[in-house]
Structure 1
């Protein structure tokens, strides 16, 4: 016979569980409050995030100029002007043609979905499930509605355009100040914080900056390579809308896993509608080959340090971010998950036994690798 339960141990276990549940609940409430405050301040936070992303891309050039004798203000000014010229060139050479063909791209995707539905309903599949047909009809209707709303917004959404311009201007100004004064931020932060916080917060900030920079630069480089190779394959096969599809491939690279699947699906559907089944299969082969090169060659060469996230975590983060905040949430989900991972790793290091305290790196001379923003 089994021994009777100890009332003392049972009560102690219940108290421990209740205390742990209350602490977890408090953490969740604090996270919800932080997200609510973030949403209320989004008009300021969004330009800050864009500026951080831009700074991670342009900081290597600014650091190169600073280490070769350029004063911080002059180096930041030169890099900012260069970034503006590159952005203007992208708008002139890519964005305008893509905008002109975006309506045709959406129409061809809708036509491709209809063709796939007709093919699935015939032999050899003979799929006649009303639920599948209804789901496809719903997806097609939503896509058509989205196309209409995008066109309406482009014609009448003056406020959206103004908000976009304000965000862009603020992001450029913030990027300039980050490039100019960023290396002085961590020493300044160390002087402002009391006690142990003067060590912990600057260390976590430096690690977070390195992680964010590695993510943005590696994804941009890999996305560019994907866009070039896939675009070249589409051009050789004579698939229409090559430029919009290449741009879509590049942008989708910033949403790991989900972005590649979405861009590949659109390219295959366009090829199926325009060139037929054989070219669609060839496009699918090209995309698979390029994705294999990306996973086994491009990323190991370009991304020296991984984000430390399992593929399942990345997939769940992108799905959750998209459900909570749409496209913006999908874009920010992976870097945010990586930053949470940085914090958790540092916390584990500090809670481990016999762990030496980290030293704060002084970046005030402008030669460090982490220009944490001011």
Structure 2
């Protein structure tokens, strides 16, 4: 005899509450395991495909691990040092960039910005704030959970966890399936497949889109001669999973830096006359790079790699990231998207059940 619905809701509610309490209590302790599990989930289709090609699971996982290690070493040697260097340089040069903006505005609009005007003082304060906050951020990262020792621990534990989870992934799924309540096994399997489809479409697909666009933006901006092009491309690619936000934030940052770099970059002195030469072509190229990237994202990459039936609204993603990030820190931000996907699937299932119920259809259902 099945448990009453009220008892089932009570027990599942208690399980969810325990999960949230454990997530909040453990915090950064479970970070390596969350990252390892995420990596194993992302790479499981690759391992399955290699198995279908005739390789054993152990050999398939070993090949994936070797390739991932080589890629990681290349990133460490080629990309990450430059990325850190550009980030630090951008933070340190922010006041100088704002001073240059002040000088340009003062030269072109002398009546608008006086030496002691409020606008000038605000621009200077913004630059100093960015530098101060940026320095605090870097110091906080180096002295907190992302300190050197913890980074080394992550570099050691995460690959090990990912390797063993990927090796036993199919066995774990089969074990979990065997523990499902028998009265609801069909429903839970259906919801599980919907959740997996949503996560696969969004995380795997959108992750690929972020990687492609981030690489495109970084290379394009660097070839265009924009200072800090790598860090701008990294930022734009990182937040591309929120539609339009990545292009808008990255485009605004890139165009702002382009104006600082190419607006009045050359001064030609003719007696007492100083002429500011603005390289509008370079500025236009930077804008065109992001316009083309937005076109490719909306018309080629997202339809092909993500699809249109994922069902994760940008506002819902921002809300989930904000709530879980504030409650559970960095680990909360990592689990925010999967949890948002799960909740979205459950809400859609609940709405479907509601539309089929007497509460929605009323007496017309029986006619």
TM range (shorter): 0.7 to 0.9
Pair 1:293 & 2:296 matched = yes
**In 2, distance between residues paired with 1:274 and 1:321?**
38
Give ranges in structure 2 of 5+ residues lacking alignment. 1-11, 264-277, 358-367
Residue 176 of structure 1 and its aligned partner are, at CA, apart by: 1.6
**In 1, distance between residues paired with 2:246 and 2:32?**
23
1:180: which partner in 2?
Answer: 167
Contact 2:24 2:328 in 1 (8 A): no
Contact 2:217 2:237 in 1 (8 A): no
Residue 341 of structure 1 and its aligned partner are, at CA, apart by: 0.4
1:90: which partner in 2?
Answer: 75
Query: Of 206, 221, 229, which residue of structure 1 is paired with 2:208?
Result: 221
1:78: which partner in 2?
Answer: 63
CA deviation map 1:5-54 (0-9, x unaligned): xxxxxxxxxxxxxxxxxxxxxx9999777544312122343223322332
Pair 1:41 & 2:44 matched = no
Residue 138 of structure 1 and its aligned partner are, at CA, apart by: 5.8
Pair 1:196 & 2:152 matched = no
Contact 2:44 2:169 in 1 (8 A): no
Q: How does 1:353-372 map to 2 (within 5 A)?
A: 353=356
Count of residue pairs brought into register by the alignment? 327
TM-score by length of 1: 0.71
Contact 2:98 2:124 in 1 (8 A): no
2:347: which partner in 1?
Answer: 344
CA deviation map 1:205-254 (0-9, x unaligned): 44323322222222232123323432343234321233333333333334
Pair 1:167 & 2:173 matched = no
Query: Of 268, 271, 278, which residue of structure 1 is paired with 2:255?
Result: 268
Say if 1:268 and 1:75 are closer, same or farther in 2 by CA, change over 3 A. same
Contact 1:322 1:330 in 2 (8 A): yes
**In 1, distance between residues paired with 2:65 and 2:98?**
43
1:244: which partner in 2?
Answer: 231
Say if 1:145 and 1:63 are closer, same or farther in 2 by CA, change over 3 A. same
State the Cα RMSD in Å.
Answer: 3.8
1:357: which partner in 2?
Answer: none
Give ranges in structure 1 of 5+ residues lacking alignment. 1-26, 355-374
**In 1, distance between residues paired with 2:193 and 2:29?**
22
Deviation larger for 90-99 or 179-188? 179-188
Residue 188 of structure 1 and its aligned partner are, at CA, apart by: 1.4
